[in-house]
């Protein structure tokens, strides 16, 4: 990994067409001087960057009011964890570890003003190696799985649970939480035989369905003869529609994301089997993880405890080097990632204690 004396950046070069896979073509590599922080500002050196399908949504010619567009020519927006290396703010000291919207670059000047800053950033109280966990298991991926299951999904002991994109970042954490909370059965849907085997052998899923090769409808019928109590859906489209046919009485469907249809070209068909919600007295509920930001500490503490006890695995898939950030984002759409996809930009600062699991 190259150490940066200047600020290497990925800037937005062009918006992808609907249905087009995101690639390095949509970004421009730039090298600029490192900015100097002024009064009430501080300079952060990026250590690790998160990826998320929503980042594709920042790059739409027709901006989404929900996600907000990044204008062409600007540094690509993205969450990251880094270390403060210079500060002119009394509450943020040199050496502190900081999580926030750092952008796809080595250095960023942060200005702690406004509600958005307060709600989307944090100074890490007890930083540990790997800092990437602050973005993944103990960060947004973990919080999304935790609050999506408990709040939108109303997770209950003995639930029969189905999770789509189960071998991805959010899905791999959600499946493990459901198991730890006493679900009777946790079935994952993923896009390859290798991912399906990994879910069962390594993460303790009861079974897994390969949506590319298996007949999903038939497998759901076999695996859930009494129906699905909770479906945590990351995918939408046809998979959602198929699963709606297999709901148990009083089922809950937690709508986390819809990567299958989000950026597809042309008009999308809506679900037709939603009619089954009536017969099964079921409900579908969407959620946005940021609504729970004041409770992130609760999720973090629980996830940290499970991890330390060796009950929960931290499944990271880390690209090495800022130059790989476009490919890291693209991997979410091709399914090349397994677990939480992150990009290590600089080594973790020295001297931090290690986040240890009792049994690995």
Ligand X SMILES: NC(=O)c1ccc[n+]([C@@H]2O[C@H](COP(=O)([O-])OP(=O)(O)OC[C@H]3O[C@@H](n4cnc5c(N)ncnc54)[C@H](OP(=O)(O)O)[C@@H]3O)[C@@H](O)[C@H]2O)c1
Contacts with ligand X, residue ranges (CB under 6 A):
52-54, 141, 144, 165, 167-171, 190-192, 195, 234-235, 256-257, 259-260, 287-289, 332-333, 335, 337, 341
Nearest distance from residue 258's CB to ligand X, in Å?
Answer: 6
Nearest distance from residue 320's CB to ligand X, in Å?
Answer: 18
Residue 103 or 191 having the CB closest to ligand X: 191
Q: What is the pairing mode between strands 207-210 and 185-190?
A: parallel
Phi-psi region of 310 (alpha: psi -120 to 50; beta: other; left: phi over 0): left
Tokens read off for 27: 């970004």
Nearest distance from residue 351's CB to ligand X, in Å?
Answer: 30
Residue 84 or 228 having the CB closest to ligand X: 228
Element (H, E) at 7: strand 7-12
Sign of the C-alpha dihedral computed for residues 302, 102, 314 and 351 taken in this order: negative
Residue 229 or 262 having the CB closest to ligand X: 262
Residue 26 or 45 having the CB closest to ligand X: 26
- Cα separation of 188 and 338, whole Å? 13
Query: Which residue is listed with tokens 């009861």?
Result: 206
Nearest distance from residue 165's CB to ligand X, in Å?
Answer: 4
The answer to whether 123 and 96 have CB atoms below 8 angstroms apart is yes
Tokens read off for 42: 């501080």
Q: What is the pairing mode between strands 79-87 and 97-101?
A: antiparallel
Nearest distance from residue 171's CB to ligand X, in Å?
Answer: 5
- Cα separation of 66 and 72, whole Å? 18
Residue 75 or 289 having the CB closest to ligand X: 289
Nearest distance from residue 335's CB to ligand X, in Å?
Answer: 3
The answer to whether 3 and 323 have CB atoms below 8 angstroms apart is no
- Cα separation of 51 and 44, whole Å? 19
DSSP 8-state assignment for residue 347: P
Residues comprising the chain, all counted: 360
Residue 260 or 355 having the CB closest to ligand X: 260
Spatial CA neighbour of 11 closest among 72, 77, 75: 75
Residue 34 or 256 having the CB closest to ligand X: 256
Nearest distance from residue 43's CB to ligand X, in Å?
Answer: 28
Exposed / middle / buried, residue 218 (Cβ in 10 Å: 0-12, 13-18, 19+): exposed
Nearest distance from residue 303's CB to ligand X, in Å?
Answer: 15
Element (H, E) at 116: helix 114-120
Nearest distance from residue 55's CB to ligand X, in Å?
Answer: 9
Residue 75 or 141 having the CB closest to ligand X: 141
Residue 176 or 337 having the CB closest to ligand X: 337
């Amino acid at each position: 990994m190259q150490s940066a004396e200047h600020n290497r950046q990925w800037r937005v070069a062009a918006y992808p067409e609907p249905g087009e896979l995101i690639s390095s073509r949509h970004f421009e590599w730039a090298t600029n001087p490192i900015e100097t922080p002024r009064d009430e500002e501080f300079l952060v050196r990026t250590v690790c960057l998160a990826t998320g399908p929503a980042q594709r949504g920042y790059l739409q010619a027709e901006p989404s009011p929900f996600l907000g567009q990044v204008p062409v020519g600007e540094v690509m927006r993205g969450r990251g964890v880094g270390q403060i290396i210079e500060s002119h703010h009394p509450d943020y000291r040199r050496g502190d570890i900081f999580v926030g919207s750092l952008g796809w670059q080595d250095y960023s000047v942060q200005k702690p003003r406004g509600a958005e800053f307060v709600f989307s950033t944090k100074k890490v109280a007890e930083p540990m190696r790997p800092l990437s966990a602050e973005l993944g298991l103990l960060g947004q991926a973990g919080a999304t799985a935790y609050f999506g299951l408990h709040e939108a999904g109303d997770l209950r002991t003995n639930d029969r649970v189905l999770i789509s994109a189960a071998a991805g970042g959010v899905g791999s954490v959600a499946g493990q939480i459901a198991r730890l909370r006493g679900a009777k059965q946790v079935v994952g849907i993923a896009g390859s035989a290798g991912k399906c085997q990994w879910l069962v052998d390594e993460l303790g899923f009861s079974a897994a369905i390969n949506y590319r090769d298996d007949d999903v409808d038939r497998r759901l019928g076999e695996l859930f003869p009494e129906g699905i109590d909770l479906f945590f859906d990351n995918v939408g489209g046809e998979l959602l529609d198929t699963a709606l046919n297999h709901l148990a009485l009083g089922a809950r469907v937690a709508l986390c994301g819809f990567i299958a249809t989000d950026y597809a070209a042309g008009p999308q068909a809506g679900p037709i089997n939603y009619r089954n919600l009536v017969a099964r007295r079921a409900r579908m509920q969407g959620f946005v993880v940021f609504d729970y930001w004041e409770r992130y500490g609760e999720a973090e503490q629980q996830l940290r405890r499970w991890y330390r006890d060796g009950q929960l695995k931290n499944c990271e898939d880390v690209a090495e080097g800022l130059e790989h950030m476009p490919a890291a984002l693209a991997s979410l759409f091709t399914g090349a990632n397994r677990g939480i996809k992150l990009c290590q930009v600089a080594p973790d600062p020295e001297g931090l204690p290690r986040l240890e699991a009792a049994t690995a």
